[in-house]
Amino acid sequence: MTQQIGKQSIKFDNEPYILESASVVGDKEGNGPLGALFDNVEKDPMFGMKTWEQAESECQKKAVQLVLDKADITKSRLRYMFGGDLLAQLIATSFSAVELEIPLFGLYGACSTMGESLCLAGMCVSGGFADYALAMASSHFASVEKEFRFPLEYGNQRPYSASWTVTGCGAVIVSSTPGIARISGITPGKIVDWGLKDSMNMGACMAPAAADTIYQNLQDFERAPQDYDRIITGDLGTIGSKILIDLLKDKGMNISGCHMDCGVEIFNDDRQDTHAGGSGCGCSAVTLSAYVLPKLKSGEWKRVLFVPTGALLSKVSFNEGESVPGIAHGVVIESMN
Site for a copy of itself in 149-178 (CB under 8 A): 176
R_g (Cα) of the chain, nearest Å: 18
Q: Contacting a copy of itself (CB under 8 A), which of 64, 110, 166, 206?
A: 110
Q: In the complex, what is the shortest distance from the CB of residue 189 to a copy of itself, in angstroms, rounded to a whole number?
A: 6
In the complex with a copy of itself, which residue's Cβ is closer, 65 or 254?
Answer: 65
103 binds a copy of itself (CB under 8 A): yes
74 binds a copy of itself (CB under 8 A): no
SS3 225: helix
Report the distance separating Cα 135 and Cα 122, nearest Å. Answer: 9
Exposure string for 52-79, b = 16+ CB within 10 A, e = fewer? bbbbbbbbbbbbbbbbbebbebeeeebe
Q: Which residue type does 149 have?
A: R
Q: Contacting a copy of itself (CB under 8 A), which of 158, 190, 242, 297?
A: 190
Distance of CA 257 to the CA centre of its chain: 22
Q: Contacting a copy of itself (CB under 8 A), which of 86, 264, 285, 290?
A: 86
Cβ count within 10 A of residue 300: 11
Site for a copy of itself in 259-278 (CB under 8 A): none
- Alpha-carbon dihedral sign for residues 288, 290, 292, 293: positive
Q: Contacting a copy of itself (CB under 8 A), which of 4, 226, 298, 337?
A: 4
26 binds a copy of itself (CB under 8 A): no
225 binds a copy of itself (CB under 8 A): no
Q: Contacting a copy of itself (CB under 8 A), which of 22, 123, 245, 266?
A: 123
Cβ count within 10 A of residue 282: 39
90 binds a copy of itself (CB under 8 A): yes
Q: Please tell me the count of residues contacting a copy of itself according to CB under 8 A.
A: 62
98 binds a copy of itself (CB under 8 A): yes
